[in-house]
Amino acid sequence: MSACTASQPIVAAYDGLVCDLDGVVYRGGDAVPGAPETLQRLVADGIRLVYATNNASRVAGDVAAQLASLGAPATDADVVSSAQAGAARLRGELPAGARVLALGGAGVAQALTGVGLVPVQPADVDFDGMRSPAHPPARSVPAAEVSAVLQGFGRNVSVGDFEIAARLLTLGPIWVGTNDDATLPLPWGRSPGNGAYLDLLAVAAGRRPVVVGKPHPPLYRLALDRLGTPASRTLAVGDRLATDIDGARAADLDSAWVLTGVDLPSDLVVTQSSPTYVIAALGELLAPYAVPQRVGDEWRCGRAAVAHADAGLVVRQGSSEPMETVRAGLAALLEARDTGATPARLRDEARTLDRVVEQLLAGGQEPTDHHDDHGGHDERSVANR
């Protein structure tokens, strides 16, 4: 795969960008500082952009409207959801007009309609004259005529809806899950996500669905189709290691792990995730990238030098660019991981790097475009030196 050169920004190696949303472009209802402006500049420079989200409950127009209200460039066609990936998977196996149980939010039904399939609501399924007692049906669709189930998250899905889906699944229709995220982050903590509800139905049905959302490749492949760019010239950007970064790797895409979201260096060192680039915020896509290199018993990145010793992680030389210290430190810790250091020790030592990131982001420091003559560039992941 291509990579930036020493005198070029990261994005110079790419024609397309697949961008995650929450934790990258916005957090809750607010934009991540600098993110909309960076995306505007990327599009102005000719980079093709789509937003890829595991959220199957929202319709693309609502997502695009939120992005536009924050100043990010977005149209309905720029949003690729796991519901759309699921509908595309089903359309590849079913004829136009086939009926599919839409179990989830509005985004699930809209995605099915968008590919020429007919969404069926649980209350409308008729099992030999026995309909749902939960709601009077708007129409009657014989269960035998429902060819598939597309299951995504929806806040209004009821116990009765799950009972209908479970009964339908015993008849053997195709079953596709939009994503298998076990939890859903909320302001007060975590609630069950679509993955938990997939597990619920799997117990009742005695089988499991095909899943298309991140970290599985289909969502990224649909994003590539939407972009019209080859995988080798497309960069995936995300904040979650287990979904965004692992999903990019599964789809053979380079990835940029951005630290404005939930995962921090102490999370990376206890996984096998392998981001191509580690950046503090989206703005660093516009800057040259210093790659960590092993020199003697230490790791150097730009002007930073970090070593891992018995006493722990040692920053021998800092840098005016804090992310150079973070990358050098991560390289040292990942080397220690590969040579047998325990996860508990790695996580504890990486918290030093967490604090560097937190201080950088709290200070609102914008990544600069200056070129560090001590830096270098290649396409290798920080975890695959």
Predicted confidence pLDDT, tens digits, the chain (385 residues): 334 445 689 999 999 999 999 999 998 889 999 999 999 999 999 999 999 999 999 999 999 999 999 999 999 999 999 999 999 999 999 999 999 999 999 999 999 999 999 999 999 999 976 555 555 555 689 999 999 999 999 999 999 999 999 999 999 999 999 999 998 777 777 889 999 999 999 999 999 999 999 999 999 999 999 999 999 999 999 999 999 999 999 999 999 999 999 899 999 999 999 999 999 999 999 999 999 999 999 999 999 999 998 888 998 888 888 999 999 999 999 999 988 899 999 999 999 999 999 999 887 544 433 333 333 333 233 333 3
Q: 10 Å Cβ neighbour count for 229? A: 20
- The CATH homologous superfamily for domain 82-211 is HAD superfamily/HAD-like (3.40.50.1000)
State yes or no: is 20 an active-site residue. Answer: yes
The active-site residue out of 15, 20, 161, 354 is 20
Cα angle 157, 163, 166 (rounded to 5 degrees) comes to 110
- Of 317, 261, 371, which Cα lies nearest the Cα of 32? 261
Rg of the chain taking only CA atoms, in angstroms: 23
Query: CA-to-CA distance for 153 and 172, rounded, in angstroms?
Result: 22
- Domains in the chain: boundaries: 10-54+217-362, 82-211
The active-site residue out of 22, 161, 180, 181 is 22
Give CA separation, 34 vs 48, 243, 304, 365, in Å.
Answer: 19, 23, 25, 10
Paired tokens of 293: 């290199």
- Of 39, 64, 65, 9, which Cα lies nearest the Cα of 282? 39
Longest dimension (CA), the chain: 76
State yes or no: is 378 an active-site residue. Answer: no
Given the DSSP bridges, would you call strands 210-211 and 234-238 parallel, antiparallel or unpaired? unpaired
The full DSSP string for 36-79 is HHHHHHHHHTT-EEEEEE---SS-HHHHHHHHHHTT----GGGE
On whether the pTM is more than 0.95, the answer is no
The pair phi, psi for residue 198, each rounded to 5°, is -60, -45
In this chain, the answer to whether the domains covering 10-54+217-362 and 82-211 adopt an identical fold is: yes
- The CATH homologous superfamily for domain 10-54+217-362 is HAD superfamily/HAD-like (3.40.50.1000)
